[in-house]
Amino acid sequence: MSQNIYDNQAFFDAYGQLPRSVHGLDGAPEWPAIKAMLPALNGRKVVDLGCGYGWFCRAARELGASSVLGVDLSAKMLQKAREMTRDSAIEYRQDDLNSLTLPGECADLIYSSLALHYLPQLESVFQQAYQGLKPGGWLVFSTEHPVFTCSPHQGWLVDDQGNRFWGVSDYQAEGERQSDWLAKGVIKYHRTLGTTINCLLNAGFMLRHLQEWGPTTRQIARLPSLAEEAQRPMLLLIAAQKPGSRGDEE
């Protein structure tokens, strides 16, 4: 069972102030990179694991998806998502991603943005995604990078010469990490990049693209605070595909 931190009122309120909450996908600097990794969505069925306010669900419909299922553990997030959505082809469901059951071979794309690092384990969610995808279907997700999650004492350090570093430690010690991001005692899970990739391969997926997201020069010029994201990888973006052909493509 994952911690339901988004239903904590203090966390929920603070989260609502983030650029990505106020401005949606345009407030998430990694969105252009993730968008470039998506398959064509015209007429496709989409599932969003950890849909939050439903920004991506609505974007997928604008990109032509025929239907979208958004899943989230947080009742508060789903209430907000429903308030923001006027579209009968988008369905929201409250569920824990670690015990979720999806209908077999139904989806063309399973998407997940910054949700998987809250899950105690990845095996079941990747297996569930695999069985829920049609042959040839895609799993595209972002998660916090292990260089970001590894240390129990997250932070920047400066050496004697004034050089600034992101501190890495405890990399091989996988498991729970507590941080005080937006609220006290937020629980996330550190896994090596190898563990995430091998888990994906073991579920049957083929890896198609891996990006350790960093800001473009233009993004830094527009928002100088993004510069530090070029110093250490904070986000991991992955596109994987279920083998086989969807049967409706040349």
Query: Tokens at residue 60, please?
Result: 């997928």
User: Which residues sit opposite 93 in a β-bridge?
Assistant: 71
The residues in 29-88 that bind its own copies, with binding defined as CB under 8 A, are none
Judged by CB under 8 A, the residue of 10, 36, 75, 230 near its own copies is: 230
Nearest distance from C-beta of residue 138 to its own copies, angstroms:
14
Residue 192 binds its own copies, judged by CB under 8 A? yes
Nearest distance from C-beta of residue 88 to its own copies, angstroms:
39
User: Which residues sit opposite 140 in a β-bridge?
Assistant: 111, 239
Size of the site for its own copies (CB under 8 A): 36
Round to whole Å and give the CA distance between 116 and 122. Answer: 7
Applying CB under 8 A, the span of 8-16, 43-51, 179-187, 196-204 interacting with its own copies comes to 196-204
Residue 91 binds its own copies, judged by CB under 8 A? no
Query: Tokens at residue 223, please?
Result: 């928002």
Query: Tokens at residue 228, please?
Result: 């530090």
Closer residue to its own copies, CB minimum distance, 51 or 239: 239
Determine the 3-state secondary structure of 149 from DSSP.
helix
Judged by CB under 8 A, the residue of 25, 39, 124, 208 near its own copies is: 208
Residues with Cβ within 8 Å of 41's Cβ and at least 6 positions away in sequence, in order, are 60, 63, 64, 65, 108, 109
Residue 245 binds its own copies, judged by CB under 8 A? no
Give the torsion sign (CA, 105, 111, 115, 120): positive
Nearest distance from C-beta of residue 46 to its own copies, angstroms:
24
Judged by CB under 8 A, the residue of 70, 80, 233, 242 near its own copies is: 233
Judged by CB under 8 A, the residue of 22, 206, 221, 223 near its own copies is: 206
Nearest distance from C-beta of residue 213 to its own copies, angstroms:
9
The closest alpha carbon to 44, from 26, 18, 22, 62, belongs to 62
Round to whole Å and give the CA distance between 113 and 109. Answer: 13
Longest dimension (CA), the chain: 61
> Which phi and psi (to 5°) does residue 110 adopt?
-110, 125
Closer residue to its own copies, CB minimum distance, 98 or 151: 151
Round to whole Å and give the CA distance between 233 and 146. Answer: 8
Applying CB under 8 A, the span of 6-14, 91-99, 175-183, 229-237 interacting with its own copies comes to 229-237
> Which phi and psi (to 5°) does residue 33 adopt?
-70, -40
> Which phi and psi (to 5°) does residue 141 adopt?
-145, 155
Residue 223 binds its own copies, judged by CB under 8 A? no
Closer residue to its own copies, CB minimum distance, 104 or 224: 224
Residue 168 binds its own copies, judged by CB under 8 A? yes
> Site residues (CB under 8 A) for its own copies?
147, 151, 153, 155, 157, 159, 161, 163-173, 192-194, 197-198, 201, 206-212, 214, 230-233
